[in-house]
Amino acid sequence: MTYDYSKLYGRMAELGITREELAKQLEISRSTLYSKLTSRTEFTQDEIRRCVEILRLDVRDLSLYFFRTK
């Protein structure tokens, strides 16, 4: 299944957080983050929880950021 992370990218842009910075804060490599953002692998629950904190997301909107399909 391919997910649409455009809203996640938008939030990163709003906060001025690059993929490299997000990967560093998630304690994963840039290539691992790229694999997740291209739906090759999935975000873990812990990574999603940490994204909520880092990007200050509203948990009620998680499906818009992580589970919207293309």
Q: With respect to residue 10, please indicate whether it lies within any of the assigned structural domains.
A: yes
* Residue 60, domain CATH: 1.10.260.40
Helix, strand, coil percentages (3-state) for the chain, rounded to 5, are 65, 5, 35
- Helix axis angle for 45-54 and 19-26, nearest 10°, is 120
Q: With respect to residue 1, please indicate whether it lies within any of the assigned structural domains.
A: no
Structural domain containing residue 41: 6-65
Q: With respect to residue 70, please indicate whether it lies within any of the assigned structural domains.
A: no
Question: According to the model, what pLDDT value does residue 56 have?
Answer: 98
Q: Tell me the per-residue pLDDT of 34-45, one tens digit each, with 9 for 90 and over.
A: 999 999 999 999
For the entire predicted model, the pTM comes to 0.90
Question: According to the model, what pLDDT value does residue 65 have?
Answer: 97
Q: With respect to residue 44, please indicate whether it lies within any of the assigned structural domains.
A: yes
**Tally of structural domains, the chain:** 1
Q: With respect to residue 51, please indicate whether it lies within any of the assigned structural domains.
A: yes
Q: With respect to residue 54, please indicate whether it lies within any of the assigned structural domains.
A: yes
- Identify any residues that bridge with 3 across adjacent strands, giving them in sequence order: 69
